[in-house]
């Protein structure tokens, strides 16, 4: 199979769909890999490292899209990329279609087969291809939140760890899943005062056992969220409904009631955000103020630590990429029902029910797609 890797074009996005080690795995199985020149340069993978692994270097993205049967990316395709996709071509990347009607329409118009990392499941119903970036984003959330709390960055001038004689900062994490638990680990390690809110008692129990009381756990009612947010120095939005738009847990009124210089980090922004006042930002201009509260809503947070993120992502995606390359569509999805859950768009139709509902479109049933 012809596997293509274009260079990412989103602002300050240095990750790449395949690292040289992954290319080597594909080439050894008899596949041809075409990598756009400079695709991995930003994280220390020059073109020579790809040719050494057996890839061919393409002069531009157009050459990659024109030749590839399977396109491997990291971030959602941008408008210039939609136009280069075609019927019968597979796209495997993060899509986050629920809050993005324009991208959904662009993929539908292309008639390509778009498989999203974030909705692939495993036997436990977890999201194995979202998990690596969720781990990175959760840990980064505390790092960037700490920076935003500095006075120079618009924050209240609070050191999260505190010092002897001065109380530590108060961190509230909304959601105790992969993002939330990783945020809590870093926050607790910084000796901050940490509270995690979630609606799943089993999640709260697991966190309580892990942290042995060093992190407070609270059942997430509207009242509990409001009280915690208003008292917080840093709030991390870490909620996720697979394939669907994130629920808006923090209202504008709650934000207005927070102390000036407090910080919101919305890790859920890829799915629309969980704060009513959230809007997407970029690494070039990551923050803005609403009612004196600093908002950090970067849609590709792990891109800031691109080398770590790329290697972690490839560790997770490679087995699925090999299945798609070896078996093609629809055989790979028919044999692996967990990979099949990643199918969002096919031949001009939305397939994933949550995406269809969020975009107000009809869903083509998955069995009908895989049955031909």
Active-site residues, by number, are: 96, 270
DSSP class of 10:
S
pLDDT beyond 80 at 326: yes
Reduce the DSSP state of residue 360 to 3 states and report it: coil
Phi and psi torsions of 322, nearest 5°: -65, -40
In tens, the pLDDT along 138-154 reads 999 999 999 999 999 99
Question: How much is the pLDDT for 244?
Answer: 79
Please give the Cα distance from 275 to 265 (Å, whole number). Answer: 9
Query: Can you tell me the distance from the alpha carbon of 370 to that of 280, in angstroms, rounded to the nearest whole number?
Result: 35
- What percentage of the chain has pLDDT greater than the value 90? 93
Report the pLDDT value the prediction gives residue 364, as an integer from 0 to 100: 93
pLDDT at 205: 97
Helix/strand/coil for 114: strand
Evaluate if residue 243 carries a pLDDT over 80.
no
pLDDT of 242 over the 80 cut: no
CB-CB neighbours of 103 under 10 Å:
21
Strand bridging mode 343-346 / 349-350: antiparallel
Instruction: Indicate the helix (H) or strand (E) that contains 345.
Output: strand 343-346
* C-alpha–C-alpha distance, residues 310 and 358, integer Å: 29
Residue 33 pLDDT class (50, 70, 90 cuts): very high
Average pLDDT (3-11) is 94
> Rounded to an integer, what distance in angstroms lies between the CA atom of residue 198 and that of residue 212?
17
Binning pLDDT at 50, 70 and 90, where does residue 104 land?
A: very high
pLDDT at residue 246, as a whole number: 87
CA distance 7 to 153: 31
Q: What is the pLDDT of residues 195-223, one digit of tens each?
A: 999 999 999 999 999 999 999 999 999 99
Average pLDDT, the chain: 96
Residue 371, token pair as written in the block? 């049955």
Q: What percent of the chain has a predicted confidence (pLDDT) above 70?
A: 100
Q: What is the pLDDT of residue 372?
A: 61
pLDDT tens for each residue of 261-305: 999 999 999 889 999 999 999 999 999 999 999 999 999 899 899
pLDDT of amino acid 253: 97
């Amino acid at each position: 199979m012809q596997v293509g890797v274009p260079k990412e074009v989103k602002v300050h996005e240095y990750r790449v769909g395949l690292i040289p080690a992954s290319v080597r795995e594909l080439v050894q199985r008899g596949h041809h890999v075409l990598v756009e020149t400079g695709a991995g340069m930003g994280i220390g993978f020059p073109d020579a490292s790809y040719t050494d692994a057996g890839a061919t270097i393409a002069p531009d993205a157009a050459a990659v899209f024109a030749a590839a049967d399977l396109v491997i990316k990291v971030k959602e395709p941008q408008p210039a990329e939609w136009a280069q996709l075609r019927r019968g071509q597979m796209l495997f990347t993060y899509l986050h279609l629920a809050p993005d009607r324009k991208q959904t329409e662009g993929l539908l118009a292309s008639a390509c087969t778009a498989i999203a990392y974030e909705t692939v499941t495993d036997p436990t119903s977890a999201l194995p291809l979202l998990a690596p970036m969720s781990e990175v984003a959760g840990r980064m959330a505390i790092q960037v939140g700490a920076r935003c709390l500095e006075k120079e960055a618009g924050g209240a001038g609070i050191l999260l760890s505190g010092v002897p004689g001065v109380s530590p900062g108060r961190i509230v994490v909304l959601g105790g899943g992969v993002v939330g638990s990783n945020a809590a680990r870093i926050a607790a390690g910084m000796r901050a005062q940490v509270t995690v809110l979630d609606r799943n008692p089993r999640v709260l129990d697991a966190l309580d056992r892990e942290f042995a009381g060093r992190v407070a756990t609270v059942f997430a009612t509207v009242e509990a969220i409001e009280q915690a947010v208003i008292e917080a120095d840093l709030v991390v939005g870490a909620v996720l409904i697979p394939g669907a738009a994130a629920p808006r847990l923090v209202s504008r009124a709650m934000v207005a009631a927070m102390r000036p210089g407090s910080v919101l980090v919305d890790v859920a922004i890829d799915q629309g955000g969980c704060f009513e006042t959230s809007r997407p930002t970029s690494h070039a201009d990551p923050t803005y103020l609403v009612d004196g509260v600093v908002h950090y809503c970067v849609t590709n947070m792990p891109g800031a630590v691109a080398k770590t993120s790329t290697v972690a992502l490839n560790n997770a995606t490679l087995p699925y990429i090999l299945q798609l390359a070896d078996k093609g569509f629809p055989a790979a999805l028919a044999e692996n029902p967990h990979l099949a859950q990643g199918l969002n768009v096919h031949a001009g139709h939305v397939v994933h029910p949550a995406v269809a509902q969020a975009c107000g479109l009809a869903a083509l049933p998955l069995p009908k797609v895989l049955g031909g």
